[in-house]
Structure 1
Amino acid sequence: MASIERTAYPRFKRYYTANELDKIYTPTRIEIAFALKVTAGEENHFNLLVLLKVFQRLGYFPKITDIPLAIINHIRTVLDLQEDRSFSYQYPSTLSRHKKAIRSYLQVSAFNQKGKALITAVITESALRMDNPADLINVAIEEVVKERYELPGFNTLDRLVNHLRKEVNQQIFSQVISQLNPEYIQRLKDLLDNYAAVERSPYNDLKKLPQKSSRNHLNDLIVHLTWLETLGEIAPYLQGLTRAKIKHFTSEAKALTASEMKDITLNKQLTLLLCLIYSAQVQTRDYLVEMFLKQMKKIHNLAIEELDSIRKRQQITTEKLISVLTDVLVVFNEDVPDSKPLEKLESIFKQTGGVEQLLTECEEINAYQGNNYFPLLWRFYKSHRSAFFRLFKFLKIESTSSDDKLVKAVEVLLSNSHRRGEWIGTEVDLSFVSQPWQKLVLVQSKDVTKVMRRHFEICIFSYVAAELKSGDICVFNSEAYADYREQLLSWNDCQPLVEAYCQQLGFPTQAENFVENLKNSLTQTASKIDLGYPNNTSVVISEQGEPVLKRPLANRESASLKNLEAVISERMPERNLIDILRDVDYWTNFTRHFGPMSGSDSKLERSTERYLLTTFTYGCNLGAAQAARHMRGVVTSRMITFVNQRHISLKGLNAALVDIINRYNVMPLTKLWGDGTTAAADGTKYDLYEQNLLSEYHIRYGGYGGIAYHHVADSYIALFSHFIPCGTWEAVYIIEGLLKNKSDIQPSIIHADTQGQSTPVFALSYLLGIQLMPRIRNWQDLVFYRPDKETVYQHIDSLFKGVINWELIKTHWSDLLRVVLSIKSGKISSDMLLRKLGNYSRKNKLYQAFRELGRVIRTVFLLRFISDQKLRQQITAMTNKVEAYNGFSKWFCFGGEGVIASNDPEQQEKTIKYGDLVANAVIFHNVVDLTEVLLQLRKEGFFWEREDLAALSPYLTSHIKRFGDYLIDLDAIPPALEETLNLGF
């Protein structure tokens, strides 16, 4: 049976606040009049109103005995009835008559065969796309509500969903298996048997994770892909399955051991195996490309470092050559008739190594003048040569545009892989490569242009890396490096959505009008800033045209605030982390989102206790073994690991976070800190071991690790997080974090630092209705763009260095909308798109259009930034909040010496989510404790200023115990929360 807690099926809460009772369960005058009209007598009148309000909330009629006393008492009080007036139905006929009257009043139909047929069709269709019973139940509920039917009982829905889901899955399994011959079936079954020499099955090899990027590991991964491809082309067998279904079956297969796989039915077993093999093939191609890109980046970096080293070494040589030149000039400058210049020059050259040595030294200096390190690449590339050739003989690359010059050059490259000579004899079109590369690769000899093999190889592999990043070429049967354009909605699908979307965001629906509005916005903003410049005392433009912002005076902390903070620090009750998680779960029931992957009820003993202890263990990065040692035998490390792997998913952690955020958002104290319209994003490094593909060395922080990229609301709570590699441009994830945030707090303004912006990000955020307002380091170096060449400004003209190409935006207006609507519909993620659009492309017009639109939006922002001191202060305050959250959340990551031990990318992401769950739980509990302390202080006659309360922060840790034995008492019930607590504002 599916867990009702993990569905949207309406049910009564554990307790109700006065505010909730008043808002939800207070009968209106119209409802009271309706009750008086259809009933006779005070008792019937009262009974019907209770039933009506409950039905309005739940959508179905519960058992009379299940209705909470708090609701009954509240309605009795509102109706001003005597306390002894009870709620009960003596006669079933009266109850039936009241239900019929309520359905008629609310225009809702009783659930019948027609309603069952309706949701049967919806569930069957949805079961082809999703598998979790809770999700299918939610789909059915949504359809029932939309069609205005009374909700059937949960057991009815659960039985129907399980029956239909099983039926659909059996059809899928049968369809897949019908395509397999007996020999291949036996081969798949053999994957579950252990190798003869070791106690390990090939099934475990299907789950193999990549190690850190290196030449040897690249070779190992190529061998792994070779083995995977010997298992056959899997895609044809899975043609009838959606991507979501394949992903679910793959996750289920990953969670099962080989022996557990053997215990399930053969049809399901084989389908799960095929999904796992297919996903392993696709992911391995992605891993290989990722490793190739990292190795190419490393090769280029080593060559750049070598060039810098050569320059330092050549400084002595340069000084020597200048000295020789000086001596030569002195000889020729001597005004002595009898002197013999030639003999003197020979003497000078002989003393400094001879003419040939001097010429060699001159050639070396000429070779490495400027920034051209390309001649040095071969030294670092040659050891990778065979691996790269093997890789691209396996990977099939395709051009995503009609310009396929690079793909043809790769074909030439591969066809000459056996050559060891200096030249290649095949003609190749290299018109797409830059002038420095052409100068190096193409050599003119006796009116014939030759291609230098070594430099040609490095050149082509370098361009392959660049175009894989930009999406100008794609990898067949890949996911991260597939052609993202194929994932976009077609323009025919987009057209019906354009008008409503543009109206929602206030955009014109025609390209000409859109561009005209943009141009007016830039023109008016620039003119306004130019006009106000003489009165703007916070910015000065120097004679060289460089803008300089004056620092505002720092705000001094008031004495009353210091006093209030000191008193609060003394009064805050001491808390244990596990007790905090227990209390917050009681208030929010966030553990309802944890349970078996099947979606059914948990069969674990004391499941809530297990879930809370697991959350604590991984949220504090303790590790299962270390945590179990401090739990006095309550659970073992194996139990903790089992719950983490089988019962708590990324989806469940995100849903649990939403529950805490939503409950936090209604607390009155949080409204003083922010209204939820603004958020900030920033990353902080977490240490990792080296043996995984995500881990990279971070120059700024030092050491290997990844970046936890947090989105934090203006009210201090964390909304969403990603775990990304070091070196990734963080702006790629800034929009996706807002789109994936499903809480009640939905910011429309996002702040970040320099890493959180680029022109494509400015463009995409604007088209999604998000205002990007980053704090940019060295913003003076960015280019301001004027509306047209003719526009000149009196005071700020020197800021502008470029002109907007409006025609480019107008031409690709429909393409821009197509991308945005595809993101909104979930067809493609914004981070995948921005990974492509964040890299320069000479042939991708979509990238160029996004860049041009971003130039407009960023110029408008920069003009506002330099002219509005309050805006700059707001940006600084918000980015300070997210930086404070980074430190606050890391305070709880005290286990494992701060190193995330897992090499599994999914587990690494889960560790960050666990950490957010612990941090948000503490933030919530701190607000509860702060509120209680403030109320107690007011009772004692202590008064405070509203400004002082607004300056408080929930990032308090001095009262929290992190160490000791980790025990939990679920019988200790915390006090109920009351959102209407009057704090005097």
Structure 2
Amino acid sequence: MKKNGKIANIGLINYVDLGKIIIKAKEEGKTAVDFKAIEDIMPWDEFVSSINETSEITRPKEYNSLDLIAEKYSTLRKYTPRLLKILEFKASKKGEPVLKAMETIKELNANTKRKVPKGAPLDFVTNQWEKYVYDQEGNIDKKYYELAVFTELKNAVRSGDISIVGSKQHKPFEEYLITDSEWEKYKAENTDFKVSLDAEEYLKARLDLLNNKLKYVSDNIKKLKGVSIEDNKFVLSRLEKAVPDEAKELATKLYSLIPRVNLSDIIIDISKFTAFDNNLIHASTNKEPKDNERSCITASLMALGTNIGLKKMEQAVKGISYKQMSNVVNWRMSDDNMEKAMAAITNYHHRQPYAVHWGDGSTSSSDGVRVKSAVEALNASYNPHYGLEKGVTMYSAVSDQYSRFGVGIINTNSRDAIHIIDILLNHRTELEIEEHYTDTAGYTDQVFGLTHLLGFRFAPRLRDISDCKLYCIEGKEDFRNIQSVIKGKINTKIIKENYDDILKPVSSIKEGKVSGSLIMGKLGSYSRQNSLAKALTELGKIEKTIFILDYLSDEDFRRKIQIGLNKGEAMNALARAIFFGKYGMFHEKDIQGQLQRATALSIIINSITLWNTMYLPKAVEKLKEKEGVDESLLRHVSPLGWEHINFIGQYNLDDSSDYNLIDNMRPLREILQ
């Protein structure tokens, strides 16, 4: 978008320059220009006006956002004096220049001075800001000086170079971590580290592996399936479609046998099988729900998970009032309770014998669904990829068995992958995830490094392999068949110097002292200056290169990642179908309200997944009575089908269904002749 704006601006400048030459030529009576040809298109006066008007809206050829920011200075001034009065800041050595400049602004505010004094702090001014902060006479422009100060303040607070006294999110970096004494004790007492505590030992093992994989790819590049090098870049062939047509036909037949039900029926059934709603402990009485409360819990879950809200749900069910549901939502549906309820269904599903058709629960994927915000929510923001409306991202993780085990609300411009660490470490389920897949946009070198140190294999889909960079230690000539695609060397020196400092935040994350997303956000914001961030980046280059080499070497691995991500995308499609109320938009201003709806949605999705998983094997057995079933196709039949489920209309919460008394299961439909 920025690039297109600059191209358009240059085009306008060229139009103005050309027009001025033509106008001048006519004024001077030159005849080399065919003025009549121009006047055939538009009258001469209009042409002159067009050039003059266009000249007024053009900007300098090298313009950027800073050329426009001064227009917002008056808006900023409404808040910044008060901000500086109320908040107290502390700075590390790197943040001191910005802190001193802030004191200068406070003095200007107090004395209502219009000019920045000579000798004002300028060490913080970056090259980007320099040509704006100084005017043509070399004086300091007060507007741009303040704008530069507050921009650098934002960057310094984000990185941790400046902290806000009393803030939980913007403390000095060291305060997020376990103390040095705790760290030494942790190293001495814990034996569950996923990597060696010795830098030399760690590097030897990983670099030997890296060199072996580089050699393998170099020696076998012409034999690797679907891989080639063109114009010094890797090229991958497209994978064949993951689901054969025969599996789609089988899925249609199986789902035609599964009972038609309302959404409320599924939640009632899953409550009976799993007792997930026993986790919704009352915040005041500390008691589980009574049997006569479960209908109200079902209605409340559907009200939140479908996004129609409590008032609409009151009209869709009989005998349950808005007040009753509001009481359940406020007193029973806390974040902690809802996570436990979601996990109870996931665990029950994990124990189902039929679930092994899709995986063993050791791999997972994550993806985000953008949800527009209908109100001015503090965490909502714009994203140019999603139009002109603000929104947030509902971010979730799904196991290879099609069950959700984590969900969160994140900024719509945030990198997805920095948040998955928190879900992988803190979910409440029995799943033991070893390998995790994300889409292309979700990774950085640091994410590769951190996930490896925490014991997870991070495996993003690489949509454009040609943009990926391989790294080696030294002597890329040793890998002559691929040396053209090896772009750099790994700085092992900085890893050795900072290895202990890298492991300390890793252990702090594992111990729950700090979230992985917060640490990654801090390190990612000052990677050019901070040795710890640089060291983690270099370590991540090792892990990323190992992953890319595996990705190139093994077509089955690429397909496995693709299948894992397809499961998440299929679940997102189901989520959109369920979350139909209020045009699928959030009307909650706070993140707690948004997360409550997202978790209710996840409980409903898991209920559908489990319900289908319990009925699919019965449908298979019934279909076998009529025809043969190729069981190798069953892994392609997803438990996310919803054609047999009614999401809208009136909901019957009476437990009066026609059950088979042997196993509490509803009767299947008959096979169509």
Q: CA deviation at 1:951?
A: 1.2
- Larger RCO, structure (CA 8 Å, separation 6 or more): 2
1:619 to 294, 301, 305: 305
Which segment drifts farther, 563-572 or 874-883?
Answer: 563-572
1:519 to 203, 207, 228: 207
Within 5 A, what are the aligned runs for 1:477-492?
477-492=166-181
8 Å CA contact retained: 1:423, 1:453 = yes
Matched, 1:538 2:222: no
Within 5 A, what are the aligned runs for 1:876-887?
876-887=562-573
Aligned to 2:335: 650
Aligned to 1:313: 12
8 Å CA contact retained: 1:676, 1:745 = yes
Which segment drifts farther, 371-380 or 715-724?
Answer: 371-380
Matched, 1:465 2:150: no
| Cα distance change on mapping 1:720 and 1:380 into 2, 3 Å | same
Letter in 1 for 2:423: G
Aligned to 2:621: 935
Matched, 1:811 2:503: no
2:82 to 372, 390, 401: 390
Q: CA deviation at 1:612?
A: 1.9
2:635 to 950, 953, 960: 950
User: Whole-Å Cα distance in 1 between the matches of residues 17 and 84 of structure 2?
Assistant: 43
Aligned to 2:42: none
| Cα distance change on mapping 1:605 and 1:584 into 2, 3 Å | closer
Q: CA deviation at 1:841?
A: 4.2
1:683 to 361, 368, 391: 368
| Cα distance change on mapping 1:375 and 1:956 into 2, 3 Å | closer
8 Å CA contact retained: 2:365, 2:568 = yes
Q: CA deviation at 1:789?
A: 5.8
Q: CA deviation at 1:309?
A: 6.5
Letter in 2 for 1:967: N
Name the SS of the counterpart of 1:942 in structure 2: coil
TM-score (norm 1): 0.61
Aligned to 2:239: 552
User: Whole-Å Cα distance in 2 between the matches of residues 672 and 757 of structure 1?
Assistant: 29
Matched, 1:924 2:610: yes
User: Whole-Å Cα distance in 1 between the matches of residues 523 and 618 of structure 2?
Assistant: 50
Q: Deviations over 1:16-74 (max 9, x none)?
A: xxxxxxxxxxxxxxxxxxxxxxxxxxxxxxxxxxxxxxxxxxxxxxxxxxxxxxxxxxx
8 Å CA contact retained: 1:677, 1:745 = yes
Letter in 2 for 1:456: Y
| Cα distance change on mapping 1:424 and 1:951 into 2, 3 Å | same
Q: CA deviation at 1:856?
A: 1.9
Letter in 2 for 1:313: L
Q: CA deviation at 1:693?
A: 0.9
8 Å CA contact retained: 1:421, 1:453 = no
User: Whole-Å Cα distance in 1 between the matches of residues 477 and 11 of structure 2?
Assistant: 47
Aligned to 2:402: 716
8 Å CA contact retained: 2:366, 2:398 = yes
Within 5 A, what are the aligned runs for 1:268-667?
310-320=9-19, 368-370=60-62, 372-401=64-93, 403-417=95-109, 423-442=115-134, 450-498=139-187, 504-505=193-194, 507-542=195-230, 544-554=231-241, 557-559=244-246, 561-598=247-284, 600-601=286-287, 606-632=292-318, 634-667=319-352
| Cα distance change on mapping 1:394 and 1:315 into 2, 3 Å | farther
User: Whole-Å Cα distance in 1 between the matches of residues 243 and 170 of structure 2?
Assistant: 52
Q: CA deviation at 1:821?
A: 0.8
Q: Deviations over 1:349-375 (max 9, x none)?
A: xxx99xxx99xx89x98x833354434
Q: Deviations over 1:628-662 (max 9, x none)?
A: 11222x11111111110112211111101111111
| Cα distance change on mapping 1:473 and 1:323 into 2, 3 Å | farther
Q: Deviations over 1:889-931 (max 9, x none)?
A: 2211122332232223211100000000011101101111112
Name the SS of the counterpart of 1:571 in structure 2: coil
RMSD of Structure 2 on Structure 1 (CA): 3.3
2:483 to 797, 800, 806: 797
User: Whole-Å Cα distance in 2 between the matches of residues 438 and 806 of structure 1?
Assistant: 35
TM-score (norm 2): 0.88
User: Whole-Å Cα distance in 1 between the matches of residues 530 and 13 of structure 2?
Assistant: 41
Name the SS of the counterpart of 1:679 in structure 2: strand
Q: CA deviation at 1:585?
A: 0.8
| Cα distance change on mapping 1:653 and 1:444 into 2, 3 Å | same
Q: CA deviation at 1:434?
A: 2.4
Q: Deviations over 1:830-851 (max 9, x none)?
A: 1111222232444332222222
Percent identical residues: 24
| Cα distance change on mapping 1:391 and 1:304 into 2, 3 Å | farther
Name the SS of the counterpart of 2:149 in structure 1: helix
User: Whole-Å Cα distance in 2 between the matches of residues 880 and 840 of structure 1?
Assistant: 34
User: Whole-Å Cα distance in 2 between the matches of residues 598 and 772 of structure 1?
Assistant: 42
User: Whole-Å Cα distance in 1 between the matches of residues 170 and 71 of structure 2?
Assistant: 29
Q: Deviations over 1:537-585 (max 9, x none)?
A: 422222x3122212234467254x3443232132111112111111111
Matched, 1:726 2:412: yes
8 Å CA contact retained: 1:837, 1:847 = yes
Letter in 1 for 2:145: F
User: Whole-Å Cα distance in 1 between the matches of residues 167 and 376 of structure 2?
Assistant: 23
User: Whole-Å Cα distance in 1 between the matches of residues 188 and 455 of structure 2?
Assistant: 15
8 Å CA contact retained: 1:688, 1:899 = yes
Aligned to 1:699: 384
User: Whole-Å Cα distance in 1 between the matches of residues 290 and 312 of structure 2?
Assistant: 22
Q: CA deviation at 1:801?
A: 2.1
Aligned to 1:292: none
| Cα distance change on mapping 1:513 and 1:502 into 2, 3 Å | farther
Letter in 2 for 1:598: S
8 Å CA contact retained: 1:729, 1:755 = yes
Letter in 2 for 1:551: R
Q: Which runs of 5+ in 1 are unaligned?
A: 1-300, 332-351, 980-985
8 Å CA contact retained: 2:224, 2:552 = no
8 Å CA contact retained: 1:706, 1:725 = yes
The alignment of Structure 1 onto Structure 2 pairs a total of residues equal to 644
User: Whole-Å Cα distance in 2 between the matches of residues 976 and 836 of structure 1?
Assistant: 57
User: Whole-Å Cα distance in 2 between the matches of residues 513 and 893 of structure 1?
Assistant: 51
User: Whole-Å Cα distance in 2 between the matches of residues 325 and 977 of structure 1?
Assistant: 92
Matched, 1:864 2:556: no
| Cα distance change on mapping 1:420 and 1:523 into 2, 3 Å | farther
User: Whole-Å Cα distance in 1 between the matches of residues 21 and 542 of structure 2?
Assistant: 50
Q: CA deviation at 1:867?
A: 2.8
User: Whole-Å Cα distance in 1 between the matches of residues 79 and 6 of structure 2?
Assistant: 25
Letter in 1 for 2:244: E
Name the SS of the counterpart of 2:384 in structure 1: coil
User: Whole-Å Cα distance in 1 between the matches of residues 290 and 221 of structure 2?
Assistant: 68
Aligned to 1:107: none
8 Å CA contact retained: 1:499, 1:509 = no
| Cα distance change on mapping 1:419 and 1:778 into 2, 3 Å | farther
Name the SS of the counterpart of 1:676 in structure 2: coil
User: Whole-Å Cα distance in 2 between the matches of residues 800 and 921 of structure 1?
Assistant: 48
8 Å CA contact retained: 1:587, 1:977 = no
8 Å CA contact retained: 1:734, 1:756 = no
Name the SS of the counterpart of 1:404 in structure 2: helix
User: Whole-Å Cα distance in 1 between the matches of residues 114 and 541 of structure 2?
Assistant: 45
Which segment drifts farther, 831-840 or 814-823?
Answer: 831-840
Aligned to 2:668: none
